[in-house]
Amino acid sequence: MHKDEYVRILDFLPKGKSEMPPHKRKPLAQAVGENFFSLLEISPREGMSFTQGERVYIGEGTRDRVDHIERRIKYDWLTPTAKAELPMILKNIVSERESVYVNFYNTAGSISTRQHKLECLPKIGKRHRQDILDERSKEPFKTFEDMRSRLKNVPDPARVIVDKVIEELRGESKYYLFTPITDLKEKL
């Protein structure tokens, strides 16, 4: 099972979810993991609060701000605020971990004889795939900026990754490149 050590807060509900009976409401945050993009609901320690975009430790060992992880959730269970914040927070995560995603563009290979991983990305078809392959064969990409300068007609590479992650989180993808297929997707 893939576990994230850090999450970014998408939405903080200091009084809990409105659909819960008043006596069961407690502070709750919805968050996205930095490495595996797990969508989680977490409970803060007594007296703690979170702000949108904040980075919070949820790994093994002592968690200074998080009491416990309530549950893993589906994209559809996110609050409207969390859904609205998700693209910008994912863009920040992808930008901060740029080398990981540039490496994906540099090393992505075929899925089958007819399908390439690059073609699984939104807005990347056979022509864009070929442009990426041709350029990376000359020299591996160093940064997103390097990609943008060498690939004139290819969509913004960071935005493409964000769009793919959201597609996977929504369960709308045939191929999962960045989010692990979890038991949750099968159960729900």
- CB-CB contact of 32 with 92 (8 Å): no
Domain assignment of residue 92, yes or no = no
Domain assignment of residue 86, yes or no = no
Each residue of 127-144: pLDDT tens digit?
999 999 999 999 999 999
Each residue of 17-26: pLDDT tens digit?
888 788 888 9
Give me the number of domains the chain comprises: 2
Q: Say if residue 187 is exposed, middle or buried (CB neighbours under 10 Å; 0-12, 13-18, 19+).
A: exposed
The reply to whether 124 and 60 lie within a common domain is no
The reply to whether 148 and 183 lie within a common domain is yes
Query: What predicted TM-score, i.e. pTM, was given to this entire model?
Result: 0.92
Strand order from edge to edge, sheet including 66-72: 55-57, 6-13, 28-33, 39-44, 66-72
Domain assignment of residue 123, yes or no = yes
Domain assignment of residue 63, yes or no = yes
Mean pLDDT of 74-94: 97
The reply to whether 71 and 149 lie within a common domain is no
Mean pLDDT of 56-82: 95
Each residue of 171-187: pLDDT tens digit?
999 999 999 865 444 44
The reply to whether 179 and 101 lie within a common domain is yes
What domain range includes position 168?
97-187
Is the pLDDT at 33 greater than 70, yes or no? yes
What CATH number is given to the structural domain containing 72?
2.40.50.140
End-to-end CA distance of the chain: 17
